[in-house]
Amino acid sequence: MEEKVVEIQGLMKSFGDLDVLKGVDLDLYKGENLVVLGKSGSGKSVLIKIMVGLLKQDEGSMKVLGQEVSTLGTKALNELRLKIGFSFQNSALYDSMTVRENMEFPLVRNVKNLTRGEITRKIEELLDSVGLPQSINQMPSELSGGQKKRIGVARTLILNPEIMLYDEPTAGLDPITCMDINNLIVQVREQYNTSSIVITHDLTCAKVTGDRQAVLLDGQFKAIGSFDDVFAHAKDGRVKSFYDYNFIDS
C-alpha cells in the first residue's frame, strides 16, 4: 500500500461566524506532487498553517509523517517543521545577504558540526541542481524574480525536507519563467524524492507539476484526481468554472 505522509480527516476550522474548513479530507502520498487549487479566501493558507502547527483545527485530524500535529509540544513541532520545506510566494530571501549567506543560514541554525567544506559542497550541489551555480556570491537584488524563486527552492532543500510546500510558485512570473519553475518542481521531486503540495491558481502550473489535483470549494475538497478527471469531466459547475476562467496552454 502507498505510504501516506499527510493524512487529513474531517478537518474543521472557523473564525467566529466564518466557517473556513468544513470537513476537509485529503491524503498526500510519499513521492507525489499534489496540487491544491481554490479561489482566494477558500482556506488554502489556513490548511497549510494547521499542517505546520501555526493554527489549531476545531475538529478533525491532521497527521503529518504519522504525527497528529495539534498534540505536539514545541520541541516535537520544531523537529517536524524541519522536515517540511516551505517555499514562500516572494521567495523570502534576506536582501542584505549574498546567495551563499542566504543558503548557509538555515544550515548553521539547525545542523551542528558541519565543516566549512561540507557547507560549501552542499550549497554548490543545490545551486547546481537549480541551474544557478554562478550566483553564489550575488546579492538577491542582482537576481531576476525567477532566479530568486530558484534560490528560494534551493535554500528550502538544504535541510533535506521530506515534504515541500510551494505557495503560488509561479505568481508574478512571465510564461517562460513559469515553465522553468514548473519543471524545477517536477525535477526536485525526482531528484530529492520529496512529497509536495503545490498551492496555485495557475492551471498550467497545476497540470505540469501535479500528479493529482485537489479543488477546495466551500470548505471542502469537491474534486480530487488527475487533471483530466478533475477538469475535462468536471460535473460540479464551480470546478468547471474554475477551469473556464483560467487560460490554459495545453
Q: Which residues bind ligand ATP (CB under 6 A)?
A: 15, 18, 20, 38, 40-46
Closer to ligand ATP by Cβ: residue 38 or 85: 38
The least distance separating ligand ATP from the CB of residue 133, rounded to whole angstroms, comes to 33
Considering beta carbons, is residue 89 or 177 the nearer one to ligand ATP? 89
Residue with smaller CB distance to ligand ATP, 30 or 49:
49
State which residue, 15 or 245, has the beta carbon closest to ligand ATP: 15
Helix (H) or strand (E) holding 238: helix 237-244
Rounded to an integer, what distance in angstroms lies between the CA atom of residue 131 and that of residue 126?
9
**Minimum distance, C-beta of residue 41 to ligand ATP, in the bound complex (Å):** 4
**Cβ–Cβ < 8 Å for 186, 33:** yes
In the bound complex, what is the minimum distance in angstroms from residue 216's beta carbon to ligand ATP? Answer: 7
Question: 20 or 34, CB closer to ligand ATP?
Answer: 20
Which of 133, 172 has the CB closer to ligand ATP?
A: 172
Q: How far is the CB of 170 from ligand ATP (least distance, A)?
A: 13
Cα dist from 95 to 13, 58, 74, 120, 170, whole Å: 35, 38, 29, 20, 20
Closest C-alpha to 217, from 46, 41, 42: 42
Which residue shows C-alpha cell 532566479? 147
* Least distance in angstroms from the C-beta of 17 to ligand ATP: 10
CA–CA distance from 224 to each of 2, 26, 102, 214, 229 (Å)? 17, 9, 37, 4, 8
H runs (alpha helix) in 52-173: 74-82, 99-110, 116-129, 145-157
Q: How far is the CB of 15 from ligand ATP (least distance, A)?
A: 3
Question: Which residue in 130, 108, 138, 110 sits closest to 120, CA to CA?
Answer: 108
The CB-of-112 to ligand ATP minimum distance in angstroms stands at 34
Q: Which is nearer to ligand ATP, 38 or 152 (CB)?
A: 38
Q: Write the DSSP symbol of residue 228.
A: I
Rounded CA-CA distance 163/64 in Å is: 9
